[in-house]
């Protein structure tokens, strides 16, 4: 079977499987591993290394020759059956020699904790990376709406410690490649709490034109998700999940980035300025 694993220049570097290699964090983890000359199997439903959570026949081929894996679950760990699949995959991975497993999880999601426990009981050298809402949702998932000055979310006047996907990927990278991270739950947040109004203000300053925040119903938000590319089957559960999580339960800061990386997390304003400079929210970007 052909994969996109490359032969390492350093034979001491282990092979890493990245599930969800095209996702917000997965592709950033892949980039870091390749830049550090680790052999990578970048896996997704459409990649050269195919992987599908709903097709267990894809799991074993993806794990062949792998010593570590970054695990992301689509669409979310809170969905029915997710914990069972994480448990089955983790046990298979350990049995095939992939003992170092890093799981991307969500802050404040009770359903995700079940999957975390299954991973912890798998016999792996596990690390859990538990995250708040990503900054990159605004530059990737909902960029088009923001180009048109519109930021809609199914929530009210809450505060959220938005976290940058670059920080998440860096924590995952060190957990996959360095010692000292096994058995750790790194709960990640940004450096400050922001309301959605404040997010809109930061985006407005970075872009140079007004972005307005508008609270919407779960149903209206689900329609926006469909317009952003999510399936109709997934959109309502995801909208409900976001409404549930964005209820203020995560309105506190954590030290996960500092504990894992020895530095402070990236601020939302820095993220917004960089993405604006890259033209993510330019109107001509949408035209192209």
pLDDT in tens, 252-275: 999 999 999 999 999 999 999 999
Instruction: Tell me the percentage of the chain whose pLDDT exceeds 70.
Output: 95
Q: Tally Cβ neighbours within 10 Å of residue 114.
A: 17
Letter string b/e over residues 125-150, b meaning 16 or more CB atoms within 10 A of that residue's CB: bbbbbbbbbbbbbbbebbbebbbeee
Cut 0.85: pTM above it: yes
Q: Which of 110, 201, 230, 214 is nearest to 154 (CA)?
A: 214
Given a cut of 50, is residue 27 above it in pLDDT?
Answer: yes
Tokens encoding 235: 């959109």
pLDDT confidence band for 86 (50 / 70 / 90): very high
Given a cut of 70, is residue 3 above it in pLDDT?
Answer: no
Instruction: Tell me the percentage of the chain whose pLDDT exceeds 90.
Output: 85
| Strand partners for 213 | 151
Tokens encoding 17: 């499987």
Calculate mean pLDDT across residues 42-70: 97
Helices 268-277 and 196-207 cross at an angle (nearest 10°) of 30
Residue 71: partners with Cβ closer than 8 Å, 6 or more residues away? 19, 86, 89, 90, 101, 102, 103, 104, 119
DSSP state of 55: B
Placement of tokens 């972005």 in the chain? 211
pLDDT confidence band for 203 (50 / 70 / 90): very high
pLDDT for residue 10: 55
Query: How far apart, in whole angstroms, are the C-alpha atoms of residue 132 and residue 245?
Result: 9
| Strand partners for 214 | 152
Query: How far apart, in whole angstroms, are the C-alpha atoms of residue 158 and residue 217?
Result: 15
Domains and CATH numbers, the chain: 16-131 (3.40.50.720)
Contact (CB, 8 A) for 176 and 33: yes
Q: What is the rounded average pLDDT for all residues in the chain?
A: 93
Given a cut of 90, is residue 152 above it in pLDDT?
Answer: yes
Query: Burial level of 57, CB count in 10 A (0-12/13-18/19+)?
Result: exposed
Tokens encoding 36: 């550090």
Residue 96: partners with Cβ closer than 8 Å, 6 or more residues away? 60, 63, 64, 66
Query: How far apart, in whole angstroms, are the C-alpha atoms of residue 286 and residue 280?
Result: 9
Residue 48: partners with Cβ closer than 8 Å, 6 or more residues away? 2, 3, 4, 42
pLDDT for residue 4: 37
Contact (CB, 8 A) for 250 and 160: yes
């Amino acid at each position: 079977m052909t994969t996109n694993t490359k032969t390492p220049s350093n034979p001491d570097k282990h092979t890493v499987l990245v599930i969800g290699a095209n996702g917000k964090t997965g592709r950033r983890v892949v980039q870091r591993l390749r830049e550090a000359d680790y052999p990578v199997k970048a896996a997704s439903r459409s990649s050269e290394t195919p992987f599908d959570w709903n097709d267990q026949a894809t799991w074993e081929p993806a794990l062949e020759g792998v010593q570590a894996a970054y695990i992301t679950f689509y669409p979310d760990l809170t969905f029915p059956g997710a914990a069972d699949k994480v448990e089955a995959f983790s046990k298979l991975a350990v049995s095939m020699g992939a003992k170092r497993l890093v799981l991307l999880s969500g802050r404040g999601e009770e359903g995700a904790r079940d999957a975390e426990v299954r991973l912890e009981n798998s016999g792996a050298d596990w690390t859990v990376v538990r995250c708040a809402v990503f900054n990159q949702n605004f530059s990737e998932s909902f960029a088009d709406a923001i180009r048109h000055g519109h930021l809609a979310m199914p929530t009210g006047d809450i505060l959220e410690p938005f976290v940058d996907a670059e920080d998440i990927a860096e924590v995952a990278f060190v957990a996959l490649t360095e010692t000292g991270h096994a058995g750790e739950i790194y709960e990640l947040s940004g450096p400050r709490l922001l309301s959605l109004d404040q997010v809109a203000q930061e985006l407005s300053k970075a872009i140079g034109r007004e972005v307005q925040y508008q609270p919407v119903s779960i149903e209206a938000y689900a329609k926006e998700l469909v317009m952003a590319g999510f399936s109709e089957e997934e959109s309502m559960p995801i909208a409900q999940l976001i409404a549930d999580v964005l209820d203020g339960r995560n309105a506190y800061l954590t030290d996960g980035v500092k504990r894992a990386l020895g530095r402070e997390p990236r601020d939302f304003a820095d993220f917004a300025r960089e993405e604006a400079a890259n033209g993510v929210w330019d109107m001509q970007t949408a035209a192209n």
